[in-house]
Structures are given as structure tokens and as C-alpha cells.
A and B are shown apart, each in its own frame.
Chain A
Amino acid sequence: MLLLQNARIASEHSPALREGDVLIVEGKIQEIGTNLAVPEGARVIDARGRVLMPAMFDAHVHFRAPGFENKETITTGSEAAINGGVTGVVMMPNTRPAIDSAAVVAAVLDNAKLRSRIPVYTSGCVTKNREGKELAEIDGMRMLGVQMLTDDGDTTNDPAVLLRAMQYATEFGMFFASHCEVPELAGPRALNEGVMSYRLGIKGSPACAEEIIIDRDIRLARAAGAHIHIQHVSSKLGMETIRWWKSRGDVKVTAEVAPHHLLFTDEHIGDYDTNYKMNPPLRTQADCDALLEGLKEGVFDLIATDHAPHTPYEKAQDFISAPNGITGLDTALVSLYHYFVRPEKFGWDLVVKRYSAEPRRLMGLPVPTIEVGQQAECVLFDTEAETTFTKEFMKSKSQNTPFINQTLQGRVDMVILGTEILLEREQLVVNS
């Protein structure tokens, strides 16, 4: 039994926070009200105005296992999630071996059951070994619970292959997630083509490389009657393409945006800072502004981090040699608060809707809310405290993030999943 007093409760339906006490009994929310009586034996925590919100869900993470456990493991990845207030994730299949068969899915999910304190879901490859040629054994993966098919990290480059896969798998109720980039235009460098790529002397990837595949894959989905989910959109016209297709209403399109694409531009790369190297690349301020507009308008159904850990050694190479990716699970919620909620660019309702509710809806999962009768799956967030993202603070095995050693406003103080308290910061003021 846990009584949280003086919380401010967030929901996806209203930007206003509701003040109240919340009583959790056996992992369920039993009562919400003001000045609730303290039941005997209950642990009482004075939240002192902290925000209580449904826990987050990240539909795009790279946990690197199997194959790249030097970068991340299921354990360290899921602990990073908890550290950032996230209680469920969807893994991407670009592991080694790639998650392209029932056998690998089974191995990953068994591993997760043993080593993760939160539910871990996985996507499966569209094609064997993500090579874009032969179809993966899709139904075998579906039988183990895979719903999302993607060759993430790369575009399924042959449109005929993707169309066939869509025609085939849609019948089983599966959907497709696309990493959108024409490889011949993009090249391998993960840098926006523009003033910055010219200055750095590195071949850039033009925004049209993304726009073309966003449009192409939506058209393929429309032709196949499939559901297409567009991953990590980075460009203004990419957003506008999705908006246009959504306005037509004759194809099921969902889309996600990553915090780093809302926050950073290619200018941040400065003198070849590899922490800003990711794929799709950071673009310009006009793109950031358009993505934010798309998020507020609902063009983007969800926020996902594309959490992509790499070792310090790999990232300390020159910009061209260093791998693509930025970690996000430890930092996402705090950065969303610091840069958007606090300066009132959007409210907590957007955070809850886009980073908690909608990603679960995408995956067909129940959506937690702070309401009587619901399972307790929530985060207590202190808007008054700060977080310094030191190496020690972050639970991911890798620290390839520009937020390293930065201090932002806001702190995840408690994460509750059913009967378990997954995280409780030492600093939390507790009344017994």
C-alpha cells in the first residue's frame, strides 16, 4: 500500500494538472482525492507537488543484444529506460544476428524476461538479415508476438520487395515501420547536406533522400492496404508529406519524431563532434521548427528516442569513421520537460499522449492512466529539481549523448510498475 500525497496528476486529455492524493493498493490505483485518509500500514510519500504521470513507452530503441553487448545489453538498456521514466520499449532488429526469425525473436524475448524489469517488445526484420532481398519468415515471428516489421537502420530499398511483404504480412495484422532514406542519395555519412556538410568537407545526405522514401513507402502501403509507421522523421518536407497523406485519409499512416531532431541542428556538430552524428542526420533550425509544429498538430503520433548506444572508443574516432547514433532513454523525459514543457511550448498532456499513450496504442497495448481501477504504471517527476547527466547517473552502457555532464531542469524521482517500485531516487523526501 502506497499513498502519494500532494501530487499533480497529468493526463493526455488536458494540459492542466489535477492536484490530489493517490492511493495504490496491490499495484492498482484504489482511490484519488484530496486529503485522503492514511490507511493503516500504508507507506506515505509527500510528493510536494511533483507531477504524477503515466509511465512512458519508447517504440524505438536499440538494445544491441545479441551481438553488440559492448554497446548495450537488455539489462543496461532497460535500466536506462527505467532511469528515464520508461516502462516499456520496442527493440529494433539490427542486432547480430538480426532479429529476422522466430529463433532469434525467442532468444531475445527469453533474454528480456530474465534480464529486464520492464516489458521488452521487439520488432522483426522485413527481409532476411535486413538485406532487402529475401523476405524474413514473418509469420514465425508473429506467432511469438512480433507486430512491427522493419529493416531499421536501412530502408528496404527494393520497392517490389517491400510491397510484397506488405501484401503478405498485412493479412496477419502486422504493420510496417520505415527508416526512410534513399541510400544512393544519402551515402553513409549521416550528415545533412548543406552549409555544414560543405564546411566540414563531408558528403551530406540531402533531405530529399528522406522525403522520397516517406512518400514512396506510404504509397506502397496504400497500394497494399497496409499500416505504415514512419520512423524518426528529420525533415520539414518529410513532416509535410506525412501531413498531406494523413489529410487524404485513405491510408493508415502513423509517424514518430525523436527528441534530438526537435532539439539539435547540424550546426551543433561544430568541430566534428560525433555525439551529434546520427541517422537520419540533424538538419536545420527550420526543420526543428517544422517538426515541433508537426508534433503539436498531431502529424507525429508519437515521440521515440531511437536510443542508439555506441562505445566511447567508437565515438572518439573521426566523424566519418564513428558510428551513427545517440542515446536517449536516460535523458528524453527530462529534456522534453526542460526544453518544451517548462518554456510552455507544449504541455504535459502532449508528453503523456505522445510518449506514453500513443506508442502503446501503436503496439496494441493497454494504456495506463492515473485513474481509479487502473494498474499503477506511473512516474513521479520533480519539476523543481535538476538532473546532471553524469556517466554515473546514466544507466545505459554507453554515454554517446550531447547531454553528458549537462544539467537540465527536472528529475525522474520514482517509477512504479504494478506492485513494484522500479526506481526511487535517494533524494526523495519520504514520510513514514
Chain B
Amino acid sequence: MARKDLLDIASLHREEIEFLLDQSTSFKEQFTSSVKKVPSLEGKSVLMLFYEPSTRTHTSFEVAAKRLSAEVTNFDIAQSSITKGESVRETVETLQAMRTDYIVVRHGRSGLPGMIARLTKASVINAGDGAHAHPTQALLDAFTIREKFPNPVGKKVLIIGDILHSRVARSTSTLLKKLGLDVAYLGPGSLVPKYGPENIRRFTNYEEAMAWAPDVVYLLRVQMERQDVQFFPSLREYHRIYGITNDRLAEIRQRGLYIMHPGPVNRGVELCDAVMDYERSLINNQVENGIAIRMAVLDWLTPGGEAPKSEPTFERSFAQLPHLTA
């Protein structure tokens, strides 16, 4: 099951997911030993191609790569310039000449890492593309939940917030469903699409969602910057309706629920300050586990192989449609 790229969760098989989660467990065990480094990627190069600002994911990948003894290069992109597909292609063609083995890419445009993967022999890891996918986040979330629930089948995860623009919501819920967990959404009507996945329950108010008795409450970062037209009137109103207020935290504590958040948090919006000290907050566990997951992913992918074709893959989608073979 050699794989060149990790672009999304949808294309991962159950066995691959289990394998990655198990591998992460052994990498994590390494963290507490005196020698944190393993030599598995010695002599390999990892290129960090971040077109969107990111401290956590960027650092997490960098630490993971270094603990695998890989050489890490940061390709600095001017954060202010809007980078269209055309110039990204040129960049990738340049990078190809540098013979890097792995490219970790984050970009605001959905589907762009897939385009890069078709252009290069290097293994491409999607570190977040637009509202499309964030596979390593999903894996670290699943890993974090599995640490608390060794048999997570049937456990319930309530995801609260901006589902529409969230690649985390897409990837994490896809992965949790694949692992047999139950997922539900809660958020403003303008940010939870009606045409979203059919197998995911949708709640319209907090009380109803709590009555569903979730095991984990997963808060999404409210991203004001992605909103070209306002989706809700104010952050204060958002917090009142969907945020974890002190009162709601008391209820969560009483029910013994876990709280997760992909970070960085907006205090006073998704959650109140007290949540940061909540004993069942897994937010820091997520950060730590992120390194183990990314080590497992880097260790697992196989760069090289067939040079992929640069043209869009029309044949594939065409052939899949029975009504067209009339």
C-alpha cells in the first residue's frame, strides 16, 4: 500500500488509517525517551511550502521532519501576494529541479496540493488547502480521541462552528465516520450548509445538541477573514449562541465531556478563558500528537515512482459515469 501523496482523507483506506494511528503511537513513545530523533528519513529533504500563515502546523511538520532526521527547507512566500495557480506551477517546476523528496504545502485554494502532486515526483502532503482538506489535522484528532477512548466506535463528537469554510470539519468528520464514530454539527444556519454530508446530523441550538449526549465537543476556529459577506452579526452574538460560556462549561464539566479545538483559539468567541484550564481540554494533547502523526505520515509516504501526468485527469471521472456510456 505504498502511497506517494497524502492529499485528503476521503481516499484513505481504513487499514491505512489504522496503520498510521498505530505508527503514531510508537513515535509518540519516543518523545519521552532521551533520544528523540530516529534516523528513518536521514539524507532526505523536506520542503515547507506555506502560502498561508501558519505557526502551529508549520512548526509541527518541521519538528516532525527533524525528529526523523530529514533536512528541512523553508520556501518563503510573500504572505501578501495572491498566488494563483499559474505562478504556483512555475514555483513547483523550479522546486522539482531541487530534487526535494517531500513537499508540505498549505494554500488557500482548494485542490491546489493535488495539482502540485501531479506535477512532481516528490511526495506531497496537504497541510491544508482552502476549505477542502486538512488530513494530518484529522489524523491527529482521531489519534487524540483514541487515546481517551481506545475503542471509539459509537462515540459521539459534536463539532461546533463554521462548517462551511472549515477544512478541519470536512477532514475530521470524514475520518471519524470512517472509524465508526458518530458526528453532528452545530453552528449558524449561514455556516452549516444544508447540502452537506447526508449522514451527519445537524443541530440548530445548543440545548438540542447537548441532549444528543456527545462525548467530545469539538470547537472550530471562527474565521472572520474568510467571510466576504457577513455570515453572522457579531462575535458577541456568536459567543452567546454557540460559544462555550462559563455556564456551558459547568454543564460540560458535570457531564465529563472532552473539549477539542484545532487552534489557534479565539478567547471570548468559541470559548471562554476558563476552558483553557479545563481538566478535560485536549487542546494541548492535539498539539503534541500532531508531531507524532506527522512523523508517521512522513515515514509512511513513498516519494518518486511514476512521474504523474500534468494534464487534468478527465479520463478517470469520465469513465466513472455510466449514463455517459450510452
Please tell me if A237 contacts chain B, counting CB pairs below 8 Å. Answer: no
| Given known A198-B193, A202-B110, A406-B318, contact A320–B130 (CB-CB < 8 A) | yes
Q: Is A145 an interface residue (CB 8 A)?
A: no
B289-326 Cβ-contact flags toward A at 8 Å (1 or 0): 00000000000000000000011111111101101101
Chain A 247-290 interface 0/1 with B at a Cβ cutoff of 8 Å (1 = within): 00000000000000001100111111111100000000100000
- Contact status A318-B311, CB under 8 Å: no
Total count of chain B residues near the partner, CB < 8 A: 40
State the main secondary structure of chain A at its contact with B.
loop
Residue pair A201, B195 in contact (C-beta under 8 Å)? no
Contact for B111 among A193, A264, A319, CB less than 8 A? A319
Within 8 A of B (CB), among A183-221: 184, 187, 193-195, 198-202
Given contacts A317-B85, A339-B326, contact A201 B311 (CB under 8 A): no
In the assembled complex, A322 has its CB within 8 A of some CB on chain B:
yes
Number of A-B contacts (CB under 8 A): 112
Q: Say yes or no: B311 contacts A202, CB within 8 Å.
A: no
Check if A200 sits within 8 Å of B320, measured CB to CB. Answer: no
Identify A318's interface contact among B109, B131, B314, B317, CB under 8 A.
B109
Residues on A with beta carbons closer than 8 Å to the beta carbon of B10: 199
**A264 partner residues in chain B, CB cutoff 8 A:** 324
Given A317-B89, A319-B111, decide whether A271 and B313 contact each other with a Cβ distance below 8 A.
yes
> Which A residue sits closest to B323, measured CB to CB?
A285
A271 touches B114 (CB 8 A): yes
Q: Are A318 and B315 in contact (CB under 8 A)?
A: no
- B326:A276 contact, CB within 8 angstroms: no
Could you say which interface size class chain A belongs to? 35 or more
Least Cβ–Cβ distance between A388 and chain B, in angstroms: 13
CA of A198 to CA of B119 in the docked complex: distance in angstroms? Answer: 25
Residues of A within 8 A of B88 (CB): 317-318
The one of A201, A319, A322, A404 that contacts B170, using a Cβ cutoff of 8 Å: A201
B84 touches A276 (CB 8 A): no
* Pairwise interchain contact A201-B131, C-beta atoms closer than 8 A: yes
A316 contacts the other chain (CB 8 A): yes
Known: A201-B130, A339-B324. A270 touches B112 (CB 8 A): no
Q: Which residues of A contact B313 (CB under 8 A)?
A: 270-271, 273
| A59 shortest CB reach to chain B, Å | 26
Q: Indicate which residue in B86, B89, B314 contacts A402 across the interface (CB closer than 8 Å).
A: B314
The reply on B167 being an interface residue by CB < 8 A is yes
A403-430: which have CB < 8 Å to B?
404-406
A34 is an interface residue with CB less than 8 A from chain B? no
When A201-B130, A317-B84, A321-B85 are in contact, do A312 and B311 touch as well, CB less than 8 Å? yes
A2 CA / B115 CA spacing, docked (Å):
53
Q: Which residues of B contact A194 (CB under 8 A)?
A: 195
Q: Is B106 an interface residue (CB 8 A)?
A: no
Confirm or deny: A315 has a beta carbon within 8 angstroms of a beta carbon on chain B.
yes
Within the complex, which residue of A273, A320, A338 is in contact with B110, where a contact is CB–CB below 8 Å? A320
Which of chain A's residues have a CB closer than 8 A to the CB of B318? 268, 402, 406
CB of B62 within 8 A of chain A? no
Instruction: Decide if A269 touches B195 in the complex (CB within 8 Å).
Output: no
By the criterion CB–CB under 8 Å, are A263 and B310 in contact? no
> Which residue, A198, A274, A315, has most C-beta atoms of chain B within 10 A?
A198
Residues 327-362 (chain A) with a chain B CB within 8 angstroms: 338-339, 342-343
CB distance from B143 to the nearest CB of A (A): 23
B132 CB within 8 Å of chain A? yes
**B263 CB within 8 Å of chain A:** no
Q: Are B314 and A338 within 8 A (Cβ)?
A: no
Residues of B within 8 A of A276 (CB): 314, 317
Kindly report which residue of chain B lies nearest to residue A206, judged by CB atoms. Answer: B195
* Residues 162-200 of B at the A interface (beta carbon under 8 Å): 164, 167, 170, 193, 195-197
- A315 touching B312, Cβ below 8 Å: yes
**Bound-complex Cα distance A362 to B13 (A):** 55
Which of A318, A320, A405 is the most central at the interface, judged by chain B CB atoms within 10 Å of its CB? A318
**A343 to B, closest residue via Cβ:** B326
List residues of chain B with CB within 8 A of the CB of A267. Answer: 321
CA separation between A198 and B202, bound complex, in Å? 15
Give the nearest-CB partner of B133 in chain A.
Answer: A201
Q: How far is the CA of A342 from the CA of B316 in the complex (A)?
A: 24
B126 to chain A, nearest CB (A): 11
Q: How far is the CA of A198 from the CA of B114 in the complex (A)?
A: 17
* Chain A residues, Cβ within 8 Å of B316: 270-271, 273
Contact B195 A272 (CB under 8 A): no
For the complex, what is the distance from the CA of A405 to the CA of B130, rounded to whole Å? Answer: 32
Residue of A nearest to B83 (CB): A321
Is B141 interfacial (CB 8 A cutoff)? no
Roughly how many angstroms separate A322 CA and B86 CA in the complex, as a whole number? 9
In chain B, what residue has the closest Cβ to A339? B326
Complex contact B85–A320 (CB within 8 A): yes
- Do B195 and A193 touch (CB < 8 A)? yes
Q: A318, B115: Cβ atoms under 8 Å?
A: yes
Q: Which residues of B contact A198 (CB under 8 A)?
A: 164, 170, 193, 195-197
B128-155 vs A, Cβ < 8 Å mask (1 yes, 0 no): 0111110000000000000000000000
What residues make up the interface of A, taking CB atoms closer than 8 Å to B? 184, 187, 193-195, 198-202, 263-264, 267-276, 285, 312-322, 338-339, 342-343, 402, 404-406
3 nearest A-B pairs in the assembled complex, by CB-CB distance = A317-B85, A270-B317, A321-B85
Given contacts A198-B196, A272-B115, 15 further A-B contacts (CB under 8 A): A193-B195, A199-B10, A201-B130, A201-B132, A202-B110, A264-B324, A270-B316, A271-B114, A273-B314, A273-B316, A276-B314, A316-B115, A320-B109, A321-B84, A321-B86
Q: What are 13 inter-chain pairs, A to B, with CB distance below 8 A?
A: A184-B229, A198-B196, A201-B133, A264-B324, A269-B317, A274-B312, A275-B312, A314-B86, A317-B85, A318-B114, A319-B111, A321-B85, A404-B314
